[in-house]
Amino acid sequence: MPTASPQASPGPPAFESSPPGQAGPQPSDFLLPVIDDETRPFWEGTLAGELLVQACATCGRLRFPPRPMCPSCHSNKRLWKAMSGRGSIWSFAVPHPPLLAAYESLAPYNVVVVSLAEDQAIRLVGNLVSGSPRQRATVDASRHGEAGTEAAGDRLAGSPGEILRRANPGPIEIGEAVSVVFTLVTAPDGTLTSLPSWIRAEGQAPATL
């Protein structure tokens, strides 16, 4: 996914309190995406619970990350198409320290590259998190401390590190089928965005890459 959006944060235990006398990661310590005119429709889509990918309005080729010109026919005409939200793991890594301070205490966690079902050349980077297709995690980046579960159906309450806390570095298979989920994030300035993560797809066979 493009690292562009209003402010956002990358999260089963809750985000743990720091030892006495030691400050833990603050919301402002996490890398926050920044939107621009080219990527705005992508992030508006995630807020609406949709995974949108830019397409050429002339030849129809999908492209990601979004950009003004089609790499195939060089047309500047473009539109956005809704994807199914299904894909497969193309590659992955498990970061270990040294890392940026906010992330170091959460390591190790996984980072996956997902090929979309509609076009395996379209690949997004995110985290493979625990959860079911009915769960939508909610991270409030404006608060810091213990996380609880809201009685909101398919939403989980969390803290800034909740996505990475749920990104277990356990066994991951190349070609594993996954589905997108969205994490609603409130930045310290009150701006809302929604970050795509991935969960194992139920009832889908691994893809052949």
pLDDT digit string, tens, across residues 112-166: 999 999 999 999 999 999 865 444 444 444 433 333 332 222 344 344 467 788 8
Query: Domain locations in the chain?
Result: 27-200
Compute the half-sphere exposure of residue 9: CA atoms within 13 Å on the CB side of its CA.
Answer: 34
**Model pLDDT for residues 64-87, shown as the tens digit of each residue:** 999 999 999 999 999 999 999 999
pTM: 0.74
**128-151 burial, b if ≥16 CB within 10 A, otherwise e?**
bbebeeebbbbbbbebbeebeeee
